[in-house]
């Protein structure tokens, strides 16, 4: 079976009106998980990124093995209150709420090419906040990569002002 066959769709989670796409079952099946990582690696490698950046939590699961395959560094972007000061902080909205993301201000990214990776591109609020954090660290955005892009939520247009490719393994 292809990796998409393991994707779960849950109506009205985590709140009414949201069709939640659960990628975690994909990761539990070795062949499906390898297929995802192989495809991501193939699409992302040409971007020539020095560093993979990803938001907590599902982004971490993809970014760590991908960074290892690419021989790139890894910069985790965390939910509030998890990182010691000094941090850069961005407030953002996502499909089902709002929050803040933080990155350690001491991270050395000046002049580094950064690819931002996550499981789902919905409204784009989460990765837009990551991109702002990367820019505040002096990085150049090499691109964005997702397992799934939810076309109806138009996240891609939210990233229009950032000159970098937006890659997705599947567009639903
Ligand atoms: O494009 P957006 O509208 O910003 O939504 C996409 C984000 O929402 C989910 O994360 P969530 O905040 O639910 O956190 P989790 O990974 O900890 O489950 C998903 O993993 C993306 O990071
Ligand atoms: N519909 C959705 N499914 C999974 N993750 C999401 N993050 C934001 N919207 C989502």
Specify the CATH number for the domain of residue 61.
3.40.50.2020
Place 11 in a pLDDT band, splitting at 50, 70 and 90.
very high
Q: Report the nearest atom of ligand 2 relative to the CA of 22.
A: 4
For ligand 2, the distance from its centroid to the CA atom of residue 138, given in whole angstroms, is 29
Distance CA 47, CA 112 (A): 12
pLDDT of residue 170: 98
Does 60 reside within a domain? Answer: yes
Q: How many domains does the chain have?
A: 1
pLDDT of residue 43: 98
Nearest ligand to the CA atom of 99: 1
CB 36 within 8 A of CB 3: yes
CB 118 within 8 A of CB 62: yes
pLDDT of residue 17: 97
pLDDT of residue 12: 98
Q: Give ligand 1 pocket residues (Cβ under 6 A).
A: 55-59, 94-95, 118-126, 155
Q: Which of 18, 23, 92, 126 is the pocket-test mutation for ligand 2 (most atoms within 8 Å of CB)? A: 18
Rounded mean pLDDT, 69-89: 98
Distance CA 172, CA 157 (A): 15
Identify the CA nearest to 135 among candidates 117, 160, 113.
113
pLDDT of residue 150: 98
For ligand 1, the distance from its centroid to the CA atom of residue 120, given in whole angstroms, is 7
Distance CA 33, CA 24 (A): 10
For ligand 2, the distance from its centroid to the CA atom of residue 22, given in whole angstroms, is 8
Does 85 reside within a domain? Answer: yes
Distance CA 109, CA 100 (A): 21
For ligand 1, the distance from its centroid to the CA atom of residue 98, given in whole angstroms, is 10
- State the residue range of the domain holding 55: 48-171
75: enclosing H helix or E strand? strand 73-77
pLDDT of residue 146: 98
Does 39 reside within a domain? Answer: no
Is the CB of residue 20 below 6 angstroms from any atom belonging to ligand 2? yes
pLDDT of residue 80: 98
Round the average pLDDT of the chain to a whole number and report it.
98
Nearest ligand to the CA atom of 15: 2
Does 153 reside within a domain? Answer: yes
Place 115 in a pLDDT band, splitting at 50, 70 and 90.
very high
Check if the interface score ipTM surpasses 0.95: yes
Place 35 in a pLDDT band, splitting at 50, 70 and 90.
very high
Does 108 reside within a domain? Answer: yes
Rounded mean pLDDT, 63-77: 98
Structure tokens at 134: 């990367």
Distance CA 107, CA 154 (A): 31
Rounded mean pLDDT, 114-122: 98
Structure tokens at 162: 């950032």
Task: HSE, CB side, 13 Å, CA atoms: give it for residue 88.
Answer: 19
Q: Is 99 helix (H, G, I), strand (E, B) or coil?
A: strand
Does 30 reside within a domain? Answer: no
Does 138 reside within a domain? Answer: yes
pTM confidence score: 0.98
Question: Residue 20: what are its φ and ψ, rounded to 5°?
Answer: -85, 130
Is the CB of residue 120 below 6 angstroms from any atom belonging to ligand 2? yes
Per DSSP, helices labelled H in 45-158 are: 58-70, 125-136, 155-158
Does 1 reside within a domain? Answer: no
């Amino acid at each position: 079976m292809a990796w998409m066959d393991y994707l779960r769709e849950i109506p009205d989670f985590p709140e009414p009106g949201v069709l939640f796409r659960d990628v975690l079952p994909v990761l539990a099946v070795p062949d499906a998980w390898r297929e995802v990582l192989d495809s991501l690696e193939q699409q992302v490698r040409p971007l020539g990124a020095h560093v993979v950046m990803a938001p907590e939590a599902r982004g971490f699961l993809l970014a760590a093995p991908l960074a290892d395959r690419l021989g790139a560094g890894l910069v985790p972007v965390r939910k509030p209150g998890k990182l010691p000061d000094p941090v850069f902080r961005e407030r953002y909205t996502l499909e089902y709420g709002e929050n803040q993301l933080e990155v350690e201000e001491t991270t050395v990214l000046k002049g580094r090419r950064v690819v931002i990776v996550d499981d789902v591109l919905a409204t784009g609020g989460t990765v837009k906040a990551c991109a702002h954090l990367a820019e505040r660290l002096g990085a150049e955005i090499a691109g964005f990569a997702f397992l799934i892009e939810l076309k109806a939520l138009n996240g891609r247009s939210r990233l229009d002002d950032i000159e970098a490719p937006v890659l997705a393994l599947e567009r639903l």
